[in-house]
Structure 1
Amino acid sequence: MRAPAPAYAANDGIIDSAGAVLGAALLSSLDAVGEVALHVDRVSLVETMVALRDTPGLEYQQLMEIAGVDYPDREDRFEVVYCLLSLTRNHRIRVHVQTDEEKPVPSVTGIWPVAGWLEREVYDMYGVLFEGNPDLRRILTDYGFRGHPQRKDFPLSGFVELRYSEEAKRVVYEPVKLAQDFRTFDFTSPWEGAEYILPGDEKAALPEAKGAPTPLKADEIVKADAAKSEATAPPPKPKTTESPAQTGAGKAEPDATPKPAAPDLVKAPRKPRAKPAASGDAPSKPRTRKKPDTNNG
């Protein structure tokens, strides 16, 4: 195995080929951080997807994902992103369309049936309508859920809360009651970078370590190893000990004797060991104690 992950084909010529095929349906294109994004007209989405799938040199046969993005400051606040994969060329692109709460997006279930569930998810989370979807219902939230959770103006606490009622012996919905509501919203994406600077952000110009979070954009991120600290200048003169005065030890006395390791501890002299008996001498017999005579008187 030459690489831990498969190497995808290069992006060279993809935008030119797509522009020649799509024509006026291609509104804009972008090649950034190794990914190609095509912004197309919403009305001609189905024809665009068929062209990207069937045109030789493009051949994006598989729909991998449909995602939604919310930009509340835009006129068309919602952006639907289609992630396509070319199996024959091993290449990926993104197709973007813009819409609002009322204008429906043409469904691509006739091209890829898997889009049915993916479009239901975007509808459930953002409220985007898909024209032509045979079963456009909520898929992640409950039947009585109000609102769309992934919208930027959706309250963090929600509108209702669910709990089990001992009185009713069933699950009930009740309005959320909080002492303090979340009233401020920040619509700026952290990946695009905020215009203001929070305390401590000045230290995050580069990642602190490998894997550390950074406020920089994807095309501005530099590896942590690239940020090397300035090398410290060497000391003017290396430290040496050439004399006893530099080491801190005084001169030895003429009649100096080895001092014990602990001045307060003096070892007792060892007792001489008994000499073993010579080989010619008979070993001495041990003396036995004479027992008293108990037979007399």
Structure 2
Amino acid sequence: MTWPATPAALDKLGKGLVAKGKGPFTRHQVAFGELTLWASPDTVVAALTRLRDDEALRFSILIDVCGADYPERAKRFDVVYHLLSMTRNLRCRVKVETDEDTAVPSVTGVFPSADWFERETFDMYGVFFDGHPDLRRILTDYGFHGHPLRKDFPMTGYVEVRYDDELKRVVYEPVKSVEWRNWDFLSPWEGAEPGYAPLLPGDQKALPAAKEPGK
């Protein structure tokens, strides 16, 4: 199969990989011209190994590993692996569902490039990767509290950083209430200046008050 792969061809490929539950994949879906496969944490290493080594597929490049947060689910996190086959000119993704306490096996033994991707997913979402050679934060600061891409992480964060000119060093302080974070999209300063751009909803609040007749 080479590009362009039709939805029917991708669906046939997905059905063959799922193989009625006997392989490492549990289900598949074709949407927007791309194939998505699901695996469990116990089978994700076998799943990616099969996609890499199968001569008919040769998904030899791991493009990315990322997370997604669905707090309403018992298994709130998706770990998503994006793969590319240069031989077949195909892309696919593999999804694994997990919760806050269940670690997902690291795939660095299959794709060494997963190292920093898994660290980023751990840093941003708090997903643990069992067997990772160096699982520590990669984007946030030392001692950072929480995981910024979780849906329940506050937009303001928990601490703020500033340079103290008296102490001559960077200091960390608890976030104080910030008035302008309570967005008022009808606030006068949100609109454009009259005469420079079309008026937006709420701009009338910034216009000069009309004079009453006779005044």
TM-score per shorter chain, which class?
Answer: 0.7 to 0.9
Shift of 1:16: 2.3
For normalisation by structure 2, the TM-score amounts to 0.77
CA distance in 2, matches of 1:112, 1:9: 25
Structure 2: gaps (5+ residues): 183-215
CA distance in 2, matches of 1:169, 1:157: 25
Contact 1:25 1:48 in 2 (8 A): yes
Which aligned pairs between 1:100-119 and structure 2 lie closer than 5 A? Answer: 100-119=99-118
Change beyond 3 A, Cα 1:139–1:125: same
CA distance in 2, matches of 1:70, 1:18: 26
- Please state if 1:9 is matched with 2:5: yes
Q: Deviations over 1:170-197 (max 9, x none)?
A: 00100001056989xxxxxxxxxxxxxx
Structure 1: gaps (5+ residues): 1-5, 184-297
Shift of 1:123: 0.5
Identity in percent: 50
Q: What is aligned with 1:49?
A: 48
Q: What is aligned with 2:133?
A: 134
Q: Deviations over 1:247-266 (max 9, x none)?
A: xxxxxxxxxxxxxxxxxxxx
CA distance in 2, matches of 1:21, 1:138: 39
Contact 1:25 1:40 in 2 (8 A): yes
Which amino acid in structure 1 is aligned with residue 140 of structure 2? T
CA distance in 2, matches of 1:97, 1:9: 24
Which piece of structure 1 moves more, 93-102 or 20-29?
Answer: 20-29
Shift of 1:52: 1.3
Which aligned pairs between 1:143-292 and structure 2 lie closer than 5 A? Answer: 143-178=142-177
Instruction: Find the residue that maps to 1:162 and give its secondary structure.
Output: strand
CA distance in 1, matches of 2:98, 2:27: 16
CA distance in 2, matches of 1:123, 1:141: 11
Contact 1:22 1:48 in 2 (8 A): no
Q: Deviations over 1:245-294 (max 9, x none)?
A: xxxxxxxxxxxxxxxxxxxxxxxxxxxxxxxxxxxxxxxxxxxxxxxxxx
Higher strand share: 2
For normalisation by structure 1, the TM-score amounts to 0.56
Which amino acid in structure 2 is aligned with residue 160 of structure 1? V
Q: What is aligned with 1:81?
A: 80
Shift of 1:37: 0.6
Shift of 1:85: 0.7
Instruction: Find the residue that maps to 1:143 and give its secondary structure.
Output: coil
Change beyond 3 A, Cα 1:14–1:85: same
Contact 1:18 1:52 in 2 (8 A): no
Higher helix share: 2
Q: Deviations over 1:186-244 (max 9, x none)?
A: xxxxxxxxxxxxxxxxxxxxxxxxxxxxxxxxxxxxxxxxxxxxxxxxxxxxxxxxxxx
CA distance in 2, matches of 1:161, 1:90: 46
Contact 2:129 2:135 in 1 (8 A): yes
Q: Deviations over 1:144-182 (max 9, x none)?
A: 211110000000000000001122210010000105698
Higher-RCO chain (CA-CA 8 Å, sequence separation at least 6): 2
